[in-house]
Amino acid sequence: MVWLTILSILAAPIGIPLAITLVALFITLLLIIFSLFLLLISLWIVLLSLAIAQLLLAFDLFTLSWSTSLLFTGLALICLALTLLGSKFTLDLGSKTFLLVLHWIQRKIRKGGYYETA
């Protein structure tokens, strides 16, 4: 019954552009999700480099001002902690999403054919 509905929609003059649009929207959604993961990974890389730079600046400021040096050391440790917590969250979310997609594909394959037996 589902296939008959799909065929009837595609038989209409607007059906094929509608199907192409739906496929394009699905691909766009996948690209947005992938770019979100890349954005999070780049954010954690930037925070890690910021923590390293602030730590080096703090060691450089030890000769000038102890209080400023301790401030930059604290900021570096905060950036490092945010990097570790955020990267752990991103890796867990990415692996769980990947496993969820794999299980969905596995269920579709084990289910058998993609046709109805009505």
User: pLDDT of 31-48, one tens digit each?
Assistant: 998 899 899 999 999 999
Q: What is the mean pLDDT of the chain?
A: 85
What tens digit of pLDDT does each residue of 49-86 get? 999 999 998 888 888 888 989 999 999 999 999 999 99
Confidence of residue 114 (pLDDT cuts 50, 70, 90): low
Provide, rounded to the nearest whole percent, the portion of the chain with pLDDT above 90: 34
Residue 16 CB partners (closer than 8 Å, separation 6+): 10
**115, pLDDT greater than 80:** no
Confidence of residue 102 (pLDDT cuts 50, 70, 90): confident
**pLDDT confidence of residue 112:** 61
Contact between 58 and 104 under an 8 Å Cβ cutoff? The reply is: no
